[in-house]
Structure 1
Amino acid sequence: MEPLSRRGWAVDVAVAGLVAAVGLLEVWVPFESLSGDGSPFVSTVGVVWFAAHLAVRRARPWVALAGLLVWPLLGVFEGGQGLHLLFFGQLVPVLVLVFTIARHGTGTYRRVGTGAAIAFIALADLFVPLLQSPNELLFHWGVLTLVWLVGHGLRVSADRAAAEAVRAHVAETTARERELAAISDERARIARELHDIVAHSVGVIVVQAGAAEQVVEDDPEFARRALATIRTTGSGALAEMRRLVGMLRDPDPGLGHDLAPQPGIAALPDLVEAARGVGLSVDLDVSGVPPTLPAGLDLTAYRVVQEALTNVRRHSRATSARVAMQFAPESLEIRVTDAGPARQPGAEPGHGLVGMRERVALFGGRVEADAGEHGFTVRAVLPLERV
């Protein structure tokens, strides 16, 4: 048995006290359940003895088993001299012990305790004439069996509930670990892409600075334009660098980087054509005037559309989708909608939405997903940062 808490101690002592009180009343009132010609004083000692061992039935199980079953057997072998036959003072403590064995007992104690209780009742039936009538045999064996089955049933239910709780916790932990791994992978990917953007910007700055240095005296106007480009490019690079540092993720070592510019909104028509090439009819609708966006924000808008269309191909049976981009003065809203239905209704979602949320959150935006009656919709809102 497991170590007993203070509350468990209090419950066991309270039960023992209640059994002792009722047992003493049974002896001294007396109740109709009192049988035999024993001594009230000896029976009183027996009731107190039973209650004392009943109080430690979970804290000291072997002591309780020996005290409740061995000592009364001495009276049985002596023909019951000095002891009354008591229902509340003797049989009830034995039933409480049997319930405890079935409900809380484990290993050797459970087997030995159950066998000892059966042997105790059997010996009492053999040596005590008052217990040998058919009614008595049917009653105490029936009650004994019922109490053991109730305790065993509660134990099985508790074990099953504990196992289900463990399985649920493991499943929740596993799902959380997968989500965290997906977030970590996506952040590493974002960090690499931002690194490439910054590296490209620095390369542009170096080229423009070199060109301006060569012609600063011969063509001051060209030099001013080069310096303006350097200023704009440098400001964007600094903004992307701040985001890169904020990611707190180093790119995986050993991965090569293409320092060419990453795709942006301008590459969406090519993305749409690629989707059409694999059998997905995509309509692209752009409203508003697209401003010049920082490279990181431009890339994020592209990745949101790319990931949303990828999810349509992977998780939906839809043959068509619509991409709507609306440029407002302060924000960009992206909405990707398909007609559904899902390939596997109720299937566990992938990590595409996790990646979108990570990217959009980096720029202070938000992503919403809605599985409606007529398909799946992904909506992303990005605050605009002009360069």
Structure 2
Amino acid sequence: MEHRDRWHLVQDSILAALVAAIGLAEVWVPFESVQGTGSPVVSSTLILLCAALLALRRTWPILLVGIPLVWVSAFVATGGDAQVLFFGGFLPLALALYSGARHGDLRTSVVVCGSVFASVLLADFFVPELQGPSEVLFHWGALLTVFLVGIGLRTSEHRAVDAALRAAAAEAVAQQAALRAVAEERARIARELHDILGHSMSVMVIQAGAAAQVLDDDPEEARRALEAIRRTGIDSLAEVRRVVSLLREDERVGLAPQPGIARIPELIAQARSDGLDATYTVDEGVGDLSAGMQLAVYRVVQEALTNVRRHARATAVRVAIARRDDDVQVTVTDDGAPDVAAPVRVGQGLLGMRERVALYGGTVESGPAPVGWRVHAVLPAGASS
């Protein structure tokens, strides 16, 4: 037996003991609610039997069928000459009806509730005390109320469970989508950095060859070539340190340089061709950023403009790249509002931006602006060296 079932058995046993105690008190005190001239001993036996069945109302709910049967059998066997009890008779019937409506599977509920209703209807024909109009109105009104309360709570619980399951499933799907977006972005970063490093190595080989050719005739030109090799090597080593933790599948990739800040005007032109009033400002000094850093800035602008076109009702967008002493700031603002009908794709894009910028120790913020929407990325300037 599971822990929950044991706890239910303890709770129901306490309830059954209370019902038995108040039922026996009703018979032997006696209470004014006692009707009929039946035997107190028989009534007490029936009360204890029903209490035992109530103790199992959630562990084996089908046994609740015995409660209405024992009382109706007693009335029928005595020709209606039996005690009619409220606490010792009607209360166990009502609890059996509630338990049948509230707990158990559909088949059990139908059997238990059907037996209670059928038994009370049968008792109405054999027990004179139950045949008065006010008595019929009372016990049928009370039983129907108990039945509806049990059904209502059962329905509410099922709806709550279904909602919780749907929420858990939706959360699992969202987490999987987020993890997939991060994995795809990391793989993309790895491929692009591979291209950058391949291009850098090609430049270094060319510069080294040029230096070897002019070493004797033009030492100064050879010195400049060697300096270019040194700078390219420093940048390449910095990119290697950032990408070493990324996993990727082996692929055949080219050695063409990846886009940088110089190609952002192409993104602006594309946004204008899509009908946006796009403006672009850039500070001097961003051109000396490393290729990987420039690629990160380019991808942030690219993803932000993509989100504006796909998910915002905007007419104008502004892109600004500012170079400070300690950092580079990328800000993309528009005059629209995010499209709530497609939150998942926007969220994946933002995850990709954050993953890429975090590679350089930076941060990305996205949220409402005084007018429209704003994406703001900050990358440490030291990451370029």
Match in the other structure for 1:379? 376
Matched, 1:224 2:220: no
Write the distance in 2 (CA, Å) between the matches of 1:240 and 1:175.
Answer: 31
Query: In 2 relative to 1, CA 165–345 (structure 1 residues): closer, same or farther, beyond 3 Å?
Result: closer
Contact 1:340 1:375 in 2 (8 A): yes
Q: Measured at CA, do residues 187 and 140 of structure 1 come closer, stay the same or move farther in structure 2, by a change above 3 Å?
A: same
Cross-structure match for 2:207:
208
Q: How do 1:167-246 and structure 2 match up within 5 A? A: 167-246=166-245
1:112 is matched with which residue?
Answer: 111
Q: Confirm or deny that 1:278 pairs with 2:274.
A: yes
- Tell me the residue number matched to 2:321: 325
Deviations 1:33-56 (A, max 9, x none): 111212222222222121111111
CA offsets per residue over residues 170-208 of structure 1, 9 Å max, x none? 222222222222222222111111111111112222233
TM-score, with normalisation over the residues of structure 2? 0.91
- CA deviations on 1:194-241 (whole Å, 9 max, x unpaired) are 111111112222233334444545544444333332222222212212
Summarize the Cα distance change of 1:317–1:85 in structure 2 as closer, same or farther, 3 Å threshold.
closer
Indicate the residue corresponding to 2:140 in structure 1.
141
- CA distance in structure 2 between the aligned counterparts of 1:140 and 1:276, rounded to whole angstroms: 77
Which deviates the most, 348-357 or 93-102?
A: 348-357
In 2: Cα distance, 1:289 partner to 1:197 partner: 21
User: In the superposition, relative to structure 1, how do residues 181 and 21 fare at CA in structure 2: closer, same or farther (>3 Å)?
Assistant: same
Distance change (3 Å), C-alpha of 1:373 and 1:219: closer
TM-score (norm. length: structure 1): 0.90
Q: How many matched pairs?
A: 381
2:37 and 2:4 mapped to 1: Cα distance? 39
Q: Deviations over 1:71-116 (max 9, x none)?
A: 3333222226884221100110011011000011313222221221
The sequence identity of aligned pairs, in percent, is: 48
**Contact 2:57 2:64 (C-alpha < 8 Å) held by counterparts:** yes
Matched, 1:124 2:123: yes
1:14 aligns with 14
Q: Quick check: 1:57–1:65 contact (8 Å CA) kept in 2?
A: no
Match of 1:84 in 2: 83
* 1:259 equivalent in structure 2: 255
RMSD of aligned residue pairs (Cα, Å) = 2.4
Q: CA deviation at 1:367?
A: 0.9
Measured against aligned partners, the alpha-carbon deviations of 1:108-127 in whole angstroms (never above 9, x if no partner) come to: 22222122112211222222
Q: How does 1:14-53 map to 2 (within 5 A)?
A: 14-53=14-53
Query: Could you tell me whether the CA contact under 8 Å between 2:16 and 2:52 is conserved in 1?
Result: yes
* Residue 360 of structure 2 corresponds to residue 363 of structure 1: yes
Where does structure 2 lack aligned partners over 5 or more consecutive residues?
none
Stretches of structure 1 lacking an aligned partner (at least 5 in a row): none
Q: 2:253 is paired with a residue of what secondary structure?
A: coil
> Contact (CA 8 Å) 1:79, 1:128: kept in 2 or not?
no
- The change in CA–CA distance for 1:328 and 1:120 in structure 2 (over 3 A counts) is same
- Tell me what 1:150 maps to: 149
CA deviation digits over 1:237-290, x for unaligned, max 9? 12212222222x204x55x53311112122223332333333323222223533
1:5 equivalent to 2:2? Answer: no
